[in-house]
């Protein structure tokens, strides 16, 4: 019998296992993300954080276990990828904007091609999402004319234009200087305040502490410790204590 997933869960992973060759990268990972919740995934490099995130959007297929995202049965071979990817926005460390297109064209591309939105409507949407990330004035600029932080905010705006139900962020500030990091974090904070459901992999502990409703600490492919942001200051496992630097 399959366990019923609470209907409020936007993302649910249950006993997810994933290997690359003989390397077991996810070893029975389970967690859920409820509507409006911000989940931060932390852990050492190589602990499986990105792989877990990529499984949610089906960039990786799982070997075992169950993943349900916005009602889509992601672990099923029959999952409707197009529908799944309309519900899930993902932003990576590298901005992945198309260099030969303006910011407006970068943003209108998917709504026009995937959602068959009229161009005029997509342009209105582009203005709206650029305002959300504070970049209205860059509508007609090309990516190379923007700073790294602005490019990352434009990439977030591009994802928002698809009106996703959940946003995934994978170390989106790790390539940025500290002051640019802060401007991207502010955008993410605003999204959280507006009620966006988010799963973010981050190595910025201060940011995780301030924004996350829940923390998942991954260690060797497992969820080693999970709880509210307070676990970052009062970890219960020696591994998390060592990771956040509070170990004796």
Binding interface with ligand ADP (CB under 6 A):
20, 23, 25, 43, 45-51
Judged by beta carbon, residue 9 or residue 50, the one nearer Mg ion is 50
From ligand ADP, Mg ion, none, which one binds at residue 202 (CB under 5 to 8 Å depending on kind)?
none
From Mg ion, ligand ADP, none, which one binds at residue 46 (CB under 5 to 8 Å depending on kind)?
ligand ADP
Residue of 9, 12, 47, 50 that binds Mg ion (CB under 5 A): 50
Query: Is the alpha carbon torsion for 234, 238, 239, 242 positive or negative?
Result: positive
Name the residue among 94, 187, 92 with its Cα closest to residue 134: 187
In the complex, least distance from residue 48 CB atom to ligand ADP, rounded to whole angstroms: 4
Long-range contacts of 44-47 (CB under 8 A, 24+ apart): 44/219, 44/243, 47/218, 47/219, 47/220, 47/221
From Mg ion, ligand ADP, none, which one binds at residue 59 (CB under 5 to 8 Å depending on kind)?
none
From ligand ADP, Mg ion, none, which one binds at residue 47 (CB under 5 to 8 Å depending on kind)?
ligand ADP
In the complex, least distance from residue 119 CB atom to ligand ADP, rounded to whole angstroms: 37
Q: Report helix, strand or coil for 118.
A: coil
Judged by beta carbon, residue 51 or residue 173, the one nearer ligand ADP is 51
In the complex, least distance from residue 33 CB atom to ligand ADP, rounded to whole angstroms: 18
Closest residue by beta carbon to Mg ion: 50
In the complex, least distance from residue 142 CB atom to Mg ion, rounded to whole angstroms: 28
End-to-end Cα separation, the chain, in angstroms: 45
β partners of residue 42: 217
Q: Which residues contact 189 (CB under 8 A, 6 or more apart)?
A: 210, 211
Judged by beta carbon, residue 129 or residue 188, the one nearer Mg ion is 188
Distance of CA 11 to the CA centre of its chain: 11
Judged by beta carbon, residue 27 or residue 213, the one nearer ligand ADP is 27
In the complex, least distance from residue 200 CB atom to ligand ADP, rounded to whole angstroms: 12
**Does the footprint of Mg ion cover residue 47 (CB under 5 A)?**
no
β partners of residue 199: 39, 168
Of 48-56, 85-93, 103-111, 120-128, the window that binds Mg ion (rule: CB under 5 A) is: 48-56
From Mg ion, ligand ADP, none, which one binds at residue 20 (CB under 5 to 8 Å depending on kind)?
ligand ADP
What is the DSSP code (8-state) at residue 165? S
Name the residue among 38, 76, 39, 34 with its Cα closest to residue 55: 76
- If one counts every other C-beta atom within 10 angstroms of the C-beta of residue 117, the result is 18
Binding site for Mg ion (CB under 5 A): 50
């Amino acid at each position: 019998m399959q366990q019923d997933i609470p209907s409020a869960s936007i993302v649910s992973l249950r006993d997810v296992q994933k290997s690359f060759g003989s390397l077991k990268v996810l070893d029975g990972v389970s967690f859920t993300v409820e509507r409006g919740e911000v989940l931060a995934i932390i852990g050492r490099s190589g602990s499986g954080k990105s792989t877990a995130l990529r499984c949610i959007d089906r960039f990786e297929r799982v070997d075992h276990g169950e993943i349900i995202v916005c009602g889509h049965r992601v672990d099923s071979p029959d999952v409707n990828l197009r529908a799944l990817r309309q519900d899930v926005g993902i932003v990576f460390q590298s901005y992945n904007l198309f260099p030969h297109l303006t910011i407006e064209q970068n943003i209108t591309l998917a709504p026009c091609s995937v959602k068959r939105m009229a161009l005029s409507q997509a342009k209105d949407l582009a203005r709206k999402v650029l305002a959300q990330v504070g970049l209205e004035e860059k509508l007609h600029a090309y990516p190379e004319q923007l700073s790294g932080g602005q490019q990352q905010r434009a990439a977030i705006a591009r994802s928002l234009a698809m009106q996703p139900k959940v946003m995934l962020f994978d170390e989106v500030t790790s390539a940025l200087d500290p002051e640019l990091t802060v401007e991207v974090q502010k955008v993410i904070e605003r999204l959280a305040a507006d009620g966006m459901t988010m799963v973010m992999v981050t190595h910025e502990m201060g940011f995780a502490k301030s924004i996350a409703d829940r923390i998942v600490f991954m260690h060797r492919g497992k969820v080693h410790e999970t709880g509210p942001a307070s676990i970052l200051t009062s970890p219960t496992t020696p591994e998390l204590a060592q990771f956040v630097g509070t170990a004796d």
